[in-house]
């Protein structure tokens, strides 16, 4: 069998996008994963990066001196994974995100490297002036030096496609963050209408605006399932929720395997994503597709690709802006009949927009590499 190394500096067993790669290739390839955390199901081997080995331990002195090559190859996860993987023969390496690409190229897989770019990395934290001034040039250097050498690439939205092509000459195919198809029926609409948001607790997502918008509205409740990325901001959100007399709750996250079942207990998935950086502005996130597979309506802000998706499929409401008043106004116009129609529309398009229609793009890309080498 063809050997495929899936390399990701993330906890793979909890990384929805990487898990879809494993699920797509495991039946027909010898799939080996290298990343953090326990082994995902279906692989022939998992090479676990120790938890104490960091992927973000950049040497600030090297960054200041613009010694970007040394800075990259000094990263803990880079050194560890290269040592663990060296000397082995791979047919294809699927590198997740920019930081994994140089390691994948140095492994010299026989058929080449496919890069799956989850974010536009050079502007990942552009809202932070210090990060943009110091780290963005380093990330751009990694992209310029290594991305043109990959055999093929994919990314998550058309906005990111355009920017990678314009800045680095990388023509990535589109693979959205679609969720696996779920064969379920829409549930009846609750009274009050139950809103839900699941995801990372990041200040640049301005979740406090969503809480404030729900607090201004009537006839709705909101549960947020948040991972503790920013403990201080998480506490701020919990404090804000306490002022809503129980209408807003901030809850612990649920494992991805249980997320669909959890979401199905709600009516509308909310993701009003403030355009605080390039990636937020051009987001087409996994939670949007999770909401569809749970047969929920959605409420979003005027994020271009999300708005186009929601409007095309008739699955929800696009608020007029990203602030609390915009959210409250959109919720004030929402009726149970509207929500019922959105849930039916989600059911109607669920198969069309499922992961099964997207992951075949990865398969086609990898199979082209294998055929090119006559393997």
pLDDT in tens, 88-116: 999 999 999 999 999 999 999 999 999 99
For the chain, give the mean pLDDT: 96
Whose tokens are 């000094």? That residue is 74
pLDDT in tens, 165-215: 999 999 999 999 999 999 999 999 999 999 999 999 999 999 999 999 999
Examine residue 308 and say whether the peptide bond preceding it is cis (omega within 30 degrees of 0).
Answer: no
**Residue 301: closest CA among 197, 145, 163:** 197
Pairing between strand 248-251 and 268-271? unpaired
153 plus 13 within the same structural domain: yes
In angstroms, what CA-CA distances link 131 with 13, 137, 138, 141?
29, 9, 10, 15
pLDDT in tens, 275-325: 999 999 999 999 999 999 999 999 999 999 999 999 999 999 999 999 999
In a domain, 188, yes or no: no
Residue 375: is its pLDDT beyond 80?
no
pLDDT given at position 373: 72
- Residue 126 belongs to a domain with what CATH number? 3.40.50.2000
Q: Write the CB contacts of 367 (distance below 8 Å, at least 6 apart in sequence).
A: none
pLDDT given at position 123: 97
pLDDT given at position 23: 95
Q: How many CA atoms lie within 13 A of 189 on its CB side?
A: 19
From the centroid of its chain, how far is CA 271?
Answer: 13
Residue 257: is its pLDDT beyond 90?
no
Residue 335: is its pLDDT beyond 80?
yes
Query: Average pLDDT for residues 39-54, to the nearest whole number?
Result: 97
330 plus 229 within the same structural domain: yes
What domain count does the chain have? 2
pLDDT in tens, 140-174: 999 999 999 999 999 999 999 999 999 999 999 99
Residue 369: is its pLDDT beyond 80?
yes
Query: Average pLDDT for residues 253-258, to the nearest whole number?
Result: 88
150 plus 197 within the same structural domain: no
In a domain, 182, yes or no: no
DSSP secondary structure of 216-233 = HSSSEEEEEEEE-SSHHH
Alpha helices in the chain (DSSP H): 16-25, 60-64, 68-73, 76-85, 101-106, 129-146, 158-168, 207-216, 231-242, 256-263, 278-281, 286-293, 304-313, 324-332, 336-349, 359-372
200 plus 342 within the same structural domain: yes
Contact 197, 191 (CB under 8 A): no
pLDDT given at position 374: 65
Query: Average pLDDT for residues 332-355, to the nearest whole number?
Result: 97
* Choice between 257 and 85, residue whose per-residue pLDDT is larger: 85
Calpha distance 121→214 (Å, rounded) = 32
- Facing residues of 36 across strands? 11
226 plus 336 within the same structural domain: yes
Instruction: Show the domain range for 222.
Output: 193-349
Contact 107, 5 (CB under 8 A): yes
Query: Average pLDDT for residues 241-248, to the nearest whole number?
Result: 95
152 plus 204 within the same structural domain: no
73 plus 212 within the same structural domain: no
150 plus 11 within the same structural domain: yes
At 223, list the tokens. 């549960």
110 plus 133 within the same structural domain: yes
């Amino acid at each position: 069998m063809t050997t495929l190394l899936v390399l990701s500096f993330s906890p793979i067993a909890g990384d929805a996008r990487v898990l879809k790669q494993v699920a797509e290739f495991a039946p027909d390839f010898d799939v080996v994963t290298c990343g953090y955390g326990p082994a995902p199901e279906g692989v022939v081997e998992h090479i676990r990066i120790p938890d104490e080995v960091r992927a973000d331990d950049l040497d600030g002195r090297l960054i200041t001196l613009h010694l970007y090559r040394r800075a990259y190859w000094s990263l803990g996860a880079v050194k560890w994974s290269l040592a663990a993987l060296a000397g082995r023969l791979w047919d294809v390496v699927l590198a997740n995100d920019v930081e994994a690409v140089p390691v994948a190229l140095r492994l010299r897989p026989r058929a080449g490297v496919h890069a799956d770019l989850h974010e536009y990395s050079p502007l990942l934290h552009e809202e932070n002036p210090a990060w943009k001034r110091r780290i963005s040039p380093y990330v751009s250097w990694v992209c310029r030096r290594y991305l043109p050498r990959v055999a093929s690439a994919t990314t998550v939205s058309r906005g990111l496609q355009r920017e990678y092509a314009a800045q680095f000459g990388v023509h990535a195919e589109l693979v959205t963050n679609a969720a696996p198809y779920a064969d379920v029926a829409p549930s009846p609409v609750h009274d009050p209408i139950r809103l839900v948001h699941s995801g990372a607790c990041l200040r640049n997502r301005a979740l406090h605006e969503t809480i404030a918008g729900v607090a201004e509205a009537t006839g709705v409740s909101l549960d947020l399932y948040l991972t503790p990325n920013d403990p201080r901001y998480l506490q701020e959100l919990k404090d804000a929720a306490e002022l809503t007399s129980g209408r807003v709750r901030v809850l612990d996250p649920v494992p991805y395997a249980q997320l669909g079942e959890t979401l199905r207990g709600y009516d509308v998935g909310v993701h009003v994503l403030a355009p605080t950086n390039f990636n937020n502005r051009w987001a087409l996130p996994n939670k949007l597709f999770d909401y569809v597979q749970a047969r929920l309506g959605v409420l979003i802000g005027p994020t271009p690709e999300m708005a186009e998706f929601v409007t095309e499929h008739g699955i929800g409401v696009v608020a007029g802006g990203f602030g609390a008043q915009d959210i409250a106004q959109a919720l004030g116009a929402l009726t149970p009949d509207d929500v019922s129609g959105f849930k039916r529309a989600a059911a109607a398009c669920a198969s069309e927009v499922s992961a099964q229609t997207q992951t075949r793009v990865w398969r086609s890309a990898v199979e082209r590499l294998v055929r090119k080498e006559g393997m």
